[in-house]
A and B are shown apart, each in its own frame.
Chain A
Amino acid sequence: MIELIGDKILWNWWSPVWLVALLVAIAYGRRFGWKNHAKTAWLTTGLAVLVFAFVSPLGVLADGFLFSAHMIQHLLLLLVVPLCLVLSLPAVKSGAFPPAGRLSRLLSKPVAGWFLGLGAMWFWHVPAFCNAATESYAIGIVRSVSFLLTGILFWWPIYSPSKESRLPASNAVVYLFSACLGCTLLGIYITFTTITVCPAFASPEERLAMMTALYDAGMTSAVDQQLGGLLMWVPPCSLYVFAIISVLCRWYSVDDTEALALQDKTMVEASS
């Protein structure tokens, strides 16, 4: 197996994702600088995961060979990379992100983040769209970009750098828990359905040596899809649970007087 992963075909060293990562890093450096090491570490992690998702065998196998590899890539792009990017933004004082236009005000609403984040998950697993994005390079890029953007919108109400735009703890828990329910349903559907969710993976055009080895080890396309469904189901929910734990920690900590005063305000607004 080791020599199979070492196979040159399985590594996509010339992926344009390097360029994207570089541009993001430059933009970040110019805007925020590199002083805060913790924040820089989040950015580095995020970009490293982004590059890994496309350059490593994972990215190659996700490109029409293994549904489960596609699912891992999907989760990295939709959940892990955006989470790291949002966490890499330095904390700002209240009012630093004034919602300018009507659109940005709408996008900063939790409802938008929830529906777009979950929507991206569901939309790209409609068989027709999943197939199209796997077979066409351009649609594939659209899909990856939409994952990253909706992912950022999804995490914004939880980890926004401005405390003002974060959800109060109780709402944040509901937000994350219902998101877990959403991906659980999709995961259950993909795991147990008799339909082939993404036919492109069931009959790849060319066979890699790796694929033959996996097939011999029992990785048929049905098992592949089941594994994909379980990946859709359990890891995101685990991530949401960890996010809930961090929200609860924030809630129980005392010196967060600012957040409390804020919670006050939002709740009064909600009740009126």
Chain B
Amino acid sequence: MSASSAEASGETPSKDPVSGRLLSWVSTVDHKKIGILYISTALVFLGIGGLEALLIRVQLLFPNNTFLSPGLFNQMFTMHGTTMVFLVGMPVLIGFQNYFVPLMIGARDVAFPRLNAMSYWLLPFGGILLYFSFMTGQAPDAGWFSYAPLSTKPYNLMPAQDYWIIGLICLGIGSVAAAINIFVTVLQCRAPGMSLQRVPLFVWMSLMTAILTILALPALNAALAMLMIDRLLGAAFFEPARGGSALLWQHYFWVFGHPEVYILILPAFGMISEVIPVFSRKPIYGYAFVAGSSAVIVLLSYGVWAHHMFAVGLGMGADMFFAVGTLLIALPTGLKIFNWTATMWGGSIRLTTSMMFAVAFLLEFVIGGLTGVMFAAVPIDWQLTDTYFVVGHFHYVLIGGTVFGVFSATYYWFPKMTGRMLSERLGKWQLWLWVFGLNATFLSQHVLGVMGMPRRVYTYTEPGWMALNAIAGAGAVAMAAGTLVLLLNVWVSLRKGERSGDNPWGGFTLEWATTSPPPPENFDVIPRVESRRPVWDLDHPDSADSKLEKTPEDNGWRPDKSVTSVWAFVASEAMFFLLLLVSYVVFNTDQTGDIRSASVLDVTRTGLFSIALLGSSFTLWRAESLLKAGRIPQFRRWLMLTIVLGSIFIGGQAIEYYGLISSDVTIDDNLFTATFFTVTGFHGLHVIVGLIALSILLGLAVKQDRNVLSGTALKAVGVYWHFVDVVWIAVFCIIYLRFLQ
């Protein structure tokens, strides 16, 4: 951390002030600047995604319209959805987390400032890759969830789909890296006295979101990898015509997709949990419930994905259980509405724009939530699936929830980020334009859905649907206008806005204890935290929370950041391999045909190479204990031996691959070869990465590098290396020894 603050303060402008300022943004590792970069990038893509939405609305304005061709319409809704989820929703939330999580926990920066910069730069990179597809003549057009087989090669010959896959993999890697960073930051960098039971709710929600991201994104990445192998290497994971399963894509996508909904909504919950108490002059009602129920949401969100698939025929039993699970998850979500309402109850409420957006959140999110509960009833889902009712439902959740939460946070935190207030007058204009726009557009769509208007169809013939579509179009224009008002507001405020001072709202949490905008190092002195509202305690020593209400004390323990981050990374990777192995089991339960595990694999030979790999775990463990004992030369020898054993394994795998490929067993033969090469190939890549990491450690150890000799780096790499070995045990049992067949 000292290195990063040194770098931040070392950003002296060079001779040319313009290029110097630009360089300071491009090369920054300061979490505040990266946060602003995230938010600005999201704003750019909001403009693009919003334009796509407006084009869709124009096309649907009247029956039999020919403004957009059917193909272009498909591209527009695909790009609109993908953009809004991956290039607007997630980045803007990560941006706010980046800016405010370190400030709210009294840290000087995130745990890994350079990793943070990498996470950010993957965002424009992924976004540009996705939009570059327009240059190939056609954008992706299989919907934001790209259902197979529509997204497979026989139905989708253009390279656009490949851009979609590669763009999303980039964004996925960036998101996981950012999530690991937030996760470790919250666990490791908290100010003294701030126990995890005392963190501001926005920080807690960020932690929960990070866990969701770490464990959910790998499902998407696994599915994307398989789809890419289908499209580029000729495998058939998702092609029913060649024995694959289109439903498997749906399962994998929604194992990611449902937690994704909570990735988008939990930070917004956190935002209004900060705003509502401050503008009601009261602590939040039921802190432990709001925090704890979010942890429950995290757990339950992995168990309800199949409610997106009621219409595909999973069987009555499965439908029933997922319906009950869906109703269950509504409880921890819905009950929080009462927490926020009870926080306002009896408070001295100030209806600033920020507060009004938070109240609008409560009202609109309830509508979106209730229609969500309706879908838990399977027959209603069958009736309404793929109609505009669904579109209306999730836009109420994502706009009424996420977007209003973000607007509320924008008005609340803009003074902290810039030192200037946003105009309340323009803010109210924006609020009412958005409230009108949201309800006009999406309430109409609910009705249209019940009337039977299907989503994703480029036009309609029914003249009776025109009036409601026109209202929906007017609403979309209002929301666009509201966004322009926000931009105007920001522009005016940055130039001549009223100065805000350090704490314009009388906020409770640590970000208000520093200047606006905060200095590069965030705090000169980090105040000691004794309650959930440290700044309130400082301002009101007589009625300080720490005197009135006891909260669990901080025991002062913080985990090691490199080891923690590797554990988080390993958890993410474990999910990735788990899903690849599940696909192996799914496609190989009853193997027939000439090419199958029993007929082409040499178990004995691979068994011997496996012993080398498992032996390398032992030698690494030995090296670790020798390092701890301070016997450096022996430590280097055992580390060297580990690398040799790992290389023997990789050599063995190369021989196996060579033998298979030269006897004409390749990835596109059948589902056995596809799953076999995918699983072992990804594992081999991980072994190679591990070998590189170990070699770097060895090189540094020879140079007597202090970081390596202190042992934490070796411990972190060790966790990864042992994990790779454990994965291999599972791979060997399932593929070579044919367990579960």
Q: Please report A residues at the B interface, Cβ cutoff 8 Å.
A: 170, 173, 177, 180, 184-185, 188-189, 191-195, 223, 226-227, 230, 233-234, 237-238, 241, 244-245, 248-249, 251-256, 260, 263-264, 267-268, 271
Q: A245-B296, A251-B552, A268-B557 are in contact. Are A223 and B317 (CB under 8 A)?
A: yes
In contact, B551 and A254 (Cβ under 8 angstroms): yes
CA A267 – CA B585 in complex, angstroms? 39
Q: Secondary structure at chain A's binding surface: helix, strand, loop or mixed?
A: helix
User: Could you tell me the distance in whole angstroms from the C-beta of B646 to the nearest C-beta in chain A?
Assistant: 26
In contact, A271 and B585 (Cβ under 8 angstroms): no
User: Which residues of chain B are within 8 angstroms of A227 by Cβ–Cβ distance?
Assistant: 317
In contact, A248 and B585 (Cβ under 8 angstroms): no
Given A185, A189, A234, A244, which contacts B303 in the complex, CB threshold below 8 Å? A234
Stretch at the interface among B73-81, B320-328, B345-353, B612-620: B320-328
Question: Is B713 an interface residue when CB atoms closer than 8 A count as contact?
Answer: no
Q: List 18 A-B contacts (CB under 8 A).
A: A177-B299, A189-B740, A191-B317, A192-B586, A234-B303, A238-B328, A244-B296, A248-B292, A248-B295, A249-B288, A251-B552, A252-B291, A254-B550, A254-B552, A260-B552, A263-B555, A264-B555, A271-B557
Q: Please report B residues at the A interface, Cβ cutoff 8 Å.
A: 196-197, 288, 291-292, 295-296, 299-300, 302-303, 315, 317-318, 320-321, 324-325, 328, 550-553, 555, 557, 559-560, 578, 582, 585-586, 589-590, 740
User: Which residues of chain A are within 8 angstroms of B585 by Cβ–Cβ distance?
Assistant: 189
CA A230 – CA B323 in complex, angstroms? 13
User: Could you tell me the distance in whole angstroms from the C-beta of A173 to the nearest C-beta in chain B?
Assistant: 7
Q: What residue in chain A is nearest B247 (Cβ atoms)?
A: A192
User: Could you tell me the distance in whole angstroms from the C-beta of A181 to the nearest C-beta in chain B?
Assistant: 8
User: Which residues of chain A are within 8 angstroms of B324 by Cβ–Cβ distance?
Assistant: 234
CA A195 – CA B320 in complex, angstroms? 23
CA A188 – CA B559 in complex, angstroms? 35
CB contacts between A and B, total, < 8 Å = 76
In contact, A173 and B295 (Cβ under 8 angstroms): yes
In contact, A234 and B299 (Cβ under 8 angstroms): no
Given B299, B555, B740, which contacts A241 in the complex, CB threshold below 8 Å? B299
User: Could you tell me the distance in whole angstroms from the C-beta of B307 to the nearest C-beta in chain A?
Assistant: 13
In contact, A234 and B325 (Cβ under 8 angstroms): yes
CA A5 – CA B519 in complex, angstroms? 75
CA A61 – CA B644 in complex, angstroms? 57
Given B288, B296, B328, B560, which contacts A252 in the complex, CB threshold below 8 Å? B288
In contact, B318 and A245 (Cβ under 8 angstroms): no
Q: A234-B303, A241-B299, A260-B555 are in contact. Are A194 and B288 (CB under 8 A)?
A: no
CA A215 – CA B370 in complex, angstroms? 38
Q: What residue in chain A is nearest B586 (Cβ atoms)?
A: A192
The 3 closest A-B pairs by CB, nearest first: A252-B288, A248-B292, A264-B555
User: Which residues of chain A are within 8 angstroms of B328 by Cβ–Cβ distance?
Assistant: 238
CA A100 – CA B740 in complex, angstroms? 39
In contact, A230 and B318 (Cβ under 8 angstroms): yes
User: Which residues of chain A are within 8 angstroms of B578 by Cβ–Cβ distance?
Assistant: 185
Q: A241-B296, A241-B300 are in contact. Are A226 and B318 (CB under 8 A)?
A: yes
CA A238 – CA B304 in complex, angstroms? 12
Q: What residue in chain A is nearest B292 (Cβ atoms)?
A: A248
CA A2 – CA B270 in complex, angstroms? 51
User: Which residues of chain B are within 8 angstroms of A253 by Cβ–Cβ distance?
Assistant: 552
User: Could you tell me the distance in whole angstroms from the C-beta of B269 to the nearest C-beta in chain A?
Assistant: 17
CA A237 – CA B288 in complex, angstroms? 22
CA A253 – CA B552 in complex, angstroms? 7
User: Could you tell me the distance in whole angstroms from the C-beta of B602 to the nearest C-beta in chain A?
Assistant: 26
User: Which residues of chain B are within 8 angstroms of A189 by Cβ–Cβ distance?
Assistant: 585, 740
**Given A234-B303, A244-B299, 15 extra CB contacts under 8 A:** A177-B299, A185-B578, A191-B317, A195-B590, A223-B317, A226-B317, A230-B317, A241-B296, A245-B296, A248-B288, A249-B288, A252-B291, A255-B550, A260-B553, A260-B555
User: Which residues of chain A are within 8 angstroms of B288 by Cβ–Cβ distance?
Assistant: 248-249, 252
Given B197, B303, B586, which contacts A251 in the complex, CB threshold below 8 Å? B197
Q: What residue in chain A is nearest B298 (Cβ atoms)?
A: A177
User: Could you tell me the distance in whole angstroms from the C-beta of A187 to the nearest C-beta in chain B?
Assistant: 9
User: Which residues of chain A are within 8 angstroms of B299 by Cβ–Cβ distance?
Assistant: 177, 180, 241, 244
Q: What residue in chain B is nearest A222 (Cβ atoms)?
A: B315
User: Which residues of chain A are within 8 angstroms of B590 by Cβ–Cβ distance?
Assistant: 194-195
User: Could you tell me the distance in whole angstroms from the C-beta of A234 to the nearest C-beta in chain B?
Assistant: 5
Q: What residue in chain A is nearest B739 (Cβ atoms)?
A: A126
User: Could you tell me the distance in whole angstroms from the C-beta of A235 to the nearest C-beta in chain B?
Assistant: 9
User: Which residues of chain A are within 8 angstroms of B582 by Cβ–Cβ distance?
Assistant: 185, 188
CA A118 – CA B283 in complex, angstroms? 42
CA A185 – CA B560 in complex, angstroms? 31
CA A245 – CA B300 in complex, angstroms? 12
User: Could you tell me the distance in whole angstroms from the C-beta of A72 to the nearest C-beta in chain B?
Assistant: 14
Q: What residue in chain B is nearest A245 (Cβ atoms)?
A: B296
Given B321, B553, B560, which contacts A233 in the complex, CB threshold below 8 Å? B321
User: Which residues of chain A are within 8 angstroms of B553 by Cβ–Cβ distance?
Assistant: 260
CA A151 – CA B726 in complex, angstroms? 25
CA A177 – CA B215 in complex, angstroms? 12
In contact, A271 and B559 (Cβ under 8 angstroms): yes
In contact, B555 and A267 (Cβ under 8 angstroms): yes
CA A129 – CA B701 in complex, angstroms? 51
Q: What residue in chain B is nearest A192 (Cβ atoms)?
A: B586
User: Could you tell me the distance in whole angstroms from the C-beta of A219 to the nearest C-beta in chain B?
Assistant: 11
CA A172 – CA B582 in complex, angstroms? 26
User: Which residues of chain B are within 8 angstroms of A260 by Cβ–Cβ distance?
Assistant: 552-553, 555
CA A268 – CA B555 in complex, angstroms? 10
CA A191 – CA B306 in complex, angstroms? 13
User: Could you tell me the distance in whole angstroms from the C-beta of B526 to the nearest C-beta in chain A?
Assistant: 22
CA A244 – CA B332 in complex, angstroms? 14
In contact, A252 and B292 (Cβ under 8 angstroms): yes
User: Which residues of chain A are within 8 angstroms of B317 by Cβ–Cβ distance?
Assistant: 191, 223, 226-227, 230
In contact, A195 and B292 (Cβ under 8 angstroms): no
CA A39 – CA B8 in complex, angstroms? 59
Q: What residue in chain B is nearest A184 (Cβ atoms)?
A: B303
CA A170 – CA B558 in complex, angstroms? 13
User: Which residues of chain B are within 8 angstroms of A251 by Cβ–Cβ distance?
Assistant: 197, 552
User: Could you tell me the distance in whole angstroms from the C-beta of A157 to the nearest C-beta in chain B?
Assistant: 18
Q: A193-B589, A226-B315, A230-B317 are in contact. Are A264 and B197 (CB under 8 A)?
A: no
User: Which residues of chain A are within 8 angstroms of B300 by Cβ–Cβ distance?
Assistant: 241
User: Could you tell me the distance in whole angstroms from the C-beta of A236 to the nearest C-beta in chain B?
Assistant: 11
User: Could you tell me the distance in whole angstroms from the C-beta of A105 to the nearest C-beta in chain B?
Assistant: 21
User: Which residues of chain B are within 8 angstroms of A191 by Cβ–Cβ distance?
Assistant: 317-318
User: Which residues of chain A are within 8 angstroms of B550 by Cβ–Cβ distance?
Assistant: 254-255
CA A226 – CA B318 in complex, angstroms? 8
CA A114 – CA B118 in complex, angstroms? 37
